[in-house]
Structures are given as structure tokens and as C-alpha cells.
């Protein structure tokens, strides 16, 4: 059986593209959109997010038969919070400079709707291995879009990528200040949502 036909593989691919949470519903952008004006910060945040999404899905799935129904949400939030604390300590130790600017946003991974959504919709009903892949897939699918937004914003706003100057920066370049500012992120995300929606509509239209 090919990997993409297993339950876990299917979940991973589905979250990555066809059911991408940002494309379809614009969910969970809160915590990470704010750091998308620099690619480096975005990659770090996305790494933390994939880590948290994967491992919290795994843990929730392993514990799914022991968690009482009534306090389910609370337990899930606490599990997610525990992993975010690990991410936070790691970033503070390894990247102290970046931590100063993105510090509070790391904590906000806890309230990212995607992680919570996957925990509730998938991990609490499925075995461990598919849940892990499902979480990772959701995290990666989401990172894909944010990294794209970050590349555009940093290139247009600062003329750099990962802090290195782009070749055209010295020859011809005009700073798009708006891309550095918050409105730039809203406009970029609107474009992404537009393309995502148009793509989905077209596919559905074609299926009819």
C-alpha cells in the first residue's frame, strides 16, 4: 500500500493542499500573521507550530479514551500549552534576539484555532499514528501559506530575504512601506483567500 493511501498519509495530504485550513476557511491566522514581515521569524514560528500541532495531536489521540467528555476542551488546551512552553523555552534559549520581538506571539500558538480544531476534529477520534500525521499536515499546510506571505512581504517591504539583500535591491528598488505595516498582511492574506476560494469554486464547478 502506498503511503498516500494509508489513513495517516491521506490526512497529511488533505490538510496540506485540498483542505488547507487557511485556503478554505481562513482559520488560525491570528498568532502567526503578525510575524510575517520577516521570513526568518515566520519560519521559526511555523516550526514551533508544526511541532506543537503534531505532538499535541499525538498526545491527545493516545489519551483519548481516558479524557472525560465534559472537560475535554480544557485537557486539550493544557496539553497544547505544555508543548508551547517547550517551544517557548527553546526559542528563548537558542534565539534570544528573535524571542524579544516575537515572544508574546509564541504563547499565542496555544490559542491557534487550527491546532485546537485538529485536536477536536481528528485526534480525539483516531489512533495515534494518523493523528500525528494529521497534526503535522495541518501545521505544514498552514506554514506553506504563511511562508509565501512572508516572502512577498519581506521582499517588497525590506528588499531582503532571510536578512540577505536581494540582487535587485541595489539597482532598482523602492520600499513598499505598506508591506511592513499590518495592513500589508491583511491585503496579502485577502489575496491568498481570494485565490484559494476561486480555485475551490472552479474545481467544484468543474465537478458538476
Partner 1 sequence: MMNLLVIFLAAAFTENILLARFLGMCSFLAISRQMKTSVGLGFAVVFVTTFTAAINWLLHTYVMVPLGIEFLEFIVFIVVIAAFVQLVEMIIERFSPSLYFSLGIFLPLITVNCAILGVSLFMLNKQGFGFWESLVFGFGSGIGWLLAIILMAGIREQIKEDKIPAGLRGSGITLIITGIIALAFVAFSGMIK
Where on the chain is the footprint of partner 1 (CB under 8 A)? 25-31, 33-34, 73-74, 77-78, 81-82, 84-85, 88-89, 103-104, 107-108, 110-113, 116, 178, 181-187, 189-190, 193-195, 197-198, 201
Rounded to an integer, what distance in angstroms lies between the CA atom of residue 144 and that of residue 135? 14
> DSSP class of residue 16?
I
Contact 126, 7 (CB under 8 A): yes
In contact, 9 and 113? CB cutoff 8 Å: no
Q: Minimum distance from CB of 131 to partner 1 (Å)?
A: 19
Q: Report the nearest approach of partner 1 to the CB of residue 92 (Å).
A: 9
Q: What stretches of the chain show up as alpha helix (H) in DSSP?
A: 7-13, 21-25, 30-33, 39-62, 72-94, 96-107, 113-118, 128-158, 177-180, 182-207
| Cβ proximity to partner 1, 125 vs 202, nearer residue | 202
Question: What DSSP assignment string belongs to 34-75?
Answer: TTTTSHHHHHHHHHHHHHHHHHHHHHHHHTTTTS-GGGHHHH
- State in angstroms the smallest separation of the CB of 39 from partner 1: 17
For residues 3 and 194, which CB has a smaller minimum distance to partner 1 in the complex?
Answer: 194
Grid cell 491546532 is found at 115
Closest approach, Cβ 76 to partner 1, in A, equals 10
Rounded CA gap, 145 and 191, in Å?
A: 11
State the nearest-atom distance from the C-beta of 182 to partner 1, in Å. Answer: 5
Q: Which is nearer to partner 1, 171 or 207 (CB)?
A: 207
CB closer to partner 1, 40 vs 92: 92
Q: Which is nearer to partner 1, 104 or 206 (CB)?
A: 104
Amino acid at each position: 500500500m502506498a503511503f498516500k493511501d494509508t489513513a495517516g498519509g491521506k490526512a497529511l495530504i488533505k490538510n496540506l493542499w485540498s483542505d488547507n485550513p487557511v485556503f478554505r476557511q481562513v482559520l488560525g491566522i491570528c498568532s502567526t500573521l503578525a510575524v510575517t514581515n520577516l521570513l526568518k521569524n515566520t519560519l521559526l514560528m511555523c516550526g514551533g507550530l508544526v511541532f506543537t500541532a503534531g505532538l499535541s495531536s499525538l498526545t491527545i489521540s493516545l489519551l483519548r479514551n481516558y479524557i472525560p467528555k465534559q472537560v475535554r476542551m480544557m485537557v486539550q488546551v493544557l496539553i497544547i500549552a505544555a508543548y508551547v512552553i517547550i517551544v517557548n523555552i527553546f526559542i528563548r534559549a537558542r534565539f534570544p534576539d528573535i524571542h524579544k520581538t516575537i515572544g508574546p506571539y509564541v504563547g499565542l500558538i496555544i490559542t491557534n484555532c487550527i491546532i485546537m480544531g485538529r485536536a477536536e476534529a481528528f485526534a480525539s477520534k483516531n489512533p495515534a499514528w494518523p493523528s500525528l500525521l494529521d497534526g503535522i499536515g495541518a501545521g505544514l499546510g498552514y506554514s506553506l501559506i504563511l511562508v509565501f506571505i512572508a516572502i512577498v512581504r519581506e521582499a517588497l517591504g525590506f528588499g531582503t530575504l532571510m536578512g540577505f539583500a536581494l540582487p535587485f535591491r541595489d539597482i532598482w528598488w523602492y520600499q513598499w512601506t505598506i508591506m511592513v505595516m499590518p495592513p500589508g498582511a491583511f491585503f496579502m492574506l485577502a489575496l491568498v483567500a481570494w485565490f484559494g476560494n476561486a480555485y475551490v469554486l472552479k474545481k467544484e464547478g468543474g465537478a458538476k
